[in-house]
């Protein structure tokens, strides 16, 4: 009998050790043009910007976070996000400095190029590496440092999947992505056959010259998923300032207003309506505007509902 108990105990202990070893196995993910290996899930993560923070919240990673940055200094912290991060501090209202991240004893920074990091800036994967802070970069933003394909909604799904691997919550990530893909398929089915995509212009800000989304911005992927075409699809940038002439010439049928900051969406619409230079633009003549809050117009969980909103604005059968 004692030998039998010892045998069972040994088998149990062996199984436990194997399971523990598997749980602690290093994970490697692709981040832009780098492979990043995590020996264990980060415990003191920081996310930058409202959309990246919402990806963390969608995966229920609050317990792995010490705070977030880059929200209140740029746009309003809405109630949905406020509820999710109420126990977490905002470490910096805009882009964090290296000192901010070191002061929080961070071990992980989820950001992107022009989403908390600038090429050649103080805070980059290279500058944080000596301090043990690993960085995962937002996929949409990789265009700033490497060649990449035109974005699709898969870019956001890749980020969720990789975060799931990094934090060992793969099941949560898979469930989210599966649900989002199902919603997109339902939207596509409701749209049906498209004879001609709706011409769309994204108006972020600016009066003398408009700031807009080009070929590599996530709005292009969202517009296409909703059955439209970004009239700035031939501009090989993600977000860029352009002149008004090509906007007028390309005559958008719908204008997407990105809502954030001190200038309200209605003020942007009023500017477009009251400028005689735009009087022959179809979208303005027919009062066809779609307002997307910043968090819906940048990569994140709210993109799917935003695509449904765009589809309703583009297609009569979606109303």
Residues 169-178 pLDDT 10s: 999 999 999 9
Note whether residue 3 is domain-resident: no
Burial 242-278 (b: 16+ CB within 10 A, else e): bebeebbebebbbbbbbbbeeeebeebbeebeeeeeb
The count of structural domains within the chain is 2
DSSP state of 115: B
For position 104, what pLDDT does the model report?
97
Note whether residue 209 is domain-resident: yes
Confidence of residue 7 (pLDDT cuts 50, 70, 90): very low
Q: What are phi and psi of 206, to 5 degrees?
A: 95, 135
Asked whether 213 and 243 are in contact (CB, 8 A), the reply is: no
For position 74, what pLDDT does the model report?
62
Whether residue 59 is found in the same domain as residue 129: yes
pLDDT digits (tens, 9 = 90+) for 153-208: 999 999 999 999 999 999 999 999 999 999 999 999 999 999 899 999 999 999 99
Whether residue 123 is found in the same domain as residue 196: no
Task: Look at residues 146, 176, 204 and tell me which one is the last residue of a structural domain.
Answer: 146
Note whether residue 7 is domain-resident: no
Q: How far apart are CA 312 and CA 66, in angstroms?
A: 39
Q: 315 exposed, middle or buried (CB, 10 Å; 0-12, 13-18, 19+)?
A: middle
For position 71, what pLDDT does the model report?
86
Query: Which residues constitute the domain of residue 35?
Result: 25-146
Task: Look at residues 146, 165, 182 and tell me which one is the last residue of a structural domain.
Answer: 146
If residue 147 lies in a helix (H) or strand (E), which one and from where to where? none
Asked whether 203 and 272 are in contact (CB, 8 A), the reply is: yes
Average pLDDT, the chain: 90
Note whether residue 114 is domain-resident: yes
Whether residue 107 is found in the same domain as residue 40: yes
Whether residue 209 is found in the same domain as residue 272: yes
Whether residue 131 is found in the same domain as residue 204: no
The pair of structure tokens assigned to 101 is 């991240």
Least confident of 65-79, 87-101, 136-150, 251-265: 65-79
Whether residue 141 is found in the same domain as residue 225: no
Note whether residue 85 is domain-resident: yes
Q: Cα angle at 308 between 262 and 147, to 5 degrees?
A: 75
Task: Look at residues 130, 146, 162 and tell me which one is the last residue of a structural domain.
Answer: 146
Note whether residue 14 is domain-resident: no
Whether residue 122 is found in the same domain as residue 224: no
User: Partners of 111 in the beta sheet?
Assistant: 137
Length of the chain: 319
Handedness of CA 186, 192, 194, 197 (dihedral sign): negative
The pair of structure tokens assigned to 242 is 């352009």
**pTM, entire model:** 0.88
Q: How far apart are CA 51 and CA 303, in angstroms?
A: 10
Share of the chain above pLDDT 90, in %: 82
- CATH of residue 248's domain is 3.40.50.1980
Asked whether 257 and 265 are in contact (CB, 8 A), the reply is: yes
How much of the chain is helix, strand and coil, in % rounded to 5?
A: 45, 20, 35
- pLDDT of 76 strictly over 60: no
Q: How far apart are CA 283 and CA 296, in angstroms?
A: 21
Confidence of residue 5 (pLDDT cuts 50, 70, 90): very low
Q: How far apart are CA 171 and CA 127, in angstroms?
A: 32
Note whether residue 111 is domain-resident: yes
């Amino acid at each position: 009998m004692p030998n039998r108990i010892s045998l069972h105990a040994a088998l149990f202990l062996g199984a436990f050790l194997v399971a523990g070893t598997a749980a602690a196995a290093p994970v490697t993910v692709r981040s832009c043009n780098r492979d990043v290996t995590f020996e264990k899930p980060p415990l003191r993560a920081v996310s930058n910007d409202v959309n990246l923070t919402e990806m963390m919240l969608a995966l229920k990673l609050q317990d792995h976070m010490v705070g977030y940055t880059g929200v209140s200094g740029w746009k309003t912290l809405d109630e949905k996000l406020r509820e999710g991060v109420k126990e977490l501090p905002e470490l910096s209202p805009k882009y964090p400095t290296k000192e901010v991240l070191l002061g929080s004893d961070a071990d992980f920074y989820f950001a992107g190029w022009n989403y908390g990091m600038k090429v050649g800036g103080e805070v980059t994967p290279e500058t944080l590496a000596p301090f043990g802070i690993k960085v995962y970069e937002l996929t949409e933003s990789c265009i700033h440092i490497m060649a990449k394909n035109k974005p699709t909604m898969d870019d956001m799904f890749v980020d969720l999947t990789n975060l799931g691997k990094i934090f060992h919550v793969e099941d949560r990530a898979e469930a989210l992505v599966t649900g989002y893909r199902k919603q997109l398929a339902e939207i596509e089915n409701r749209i049906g056959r498209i004879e001609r995509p709706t011409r769309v212009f994204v108006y972020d800000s600016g009066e003398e010259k408009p700031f807009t989304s080009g070929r590599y911005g996530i709005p292009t992927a969202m517009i296409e998923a909703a059955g439209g075409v970004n009239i700035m699809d031939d501009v090989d940038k993600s977000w860029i300032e352009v002149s008004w002439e090509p906007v007028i010439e390309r005559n958008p049928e719908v204008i997407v207003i990105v809502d954030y900051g001190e200038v309200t969406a209605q003020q942007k619409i009023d500017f477009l309506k009251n400028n005689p230079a735009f009087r022959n633009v179809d979208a303005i003549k027919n009062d066809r505007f779609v307002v997307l809050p910043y968090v819906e117009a940048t990569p994140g969980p709210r993109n799917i509902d935003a695509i449904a909103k765009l589809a309703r604005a583009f297609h009569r059968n979606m109303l």
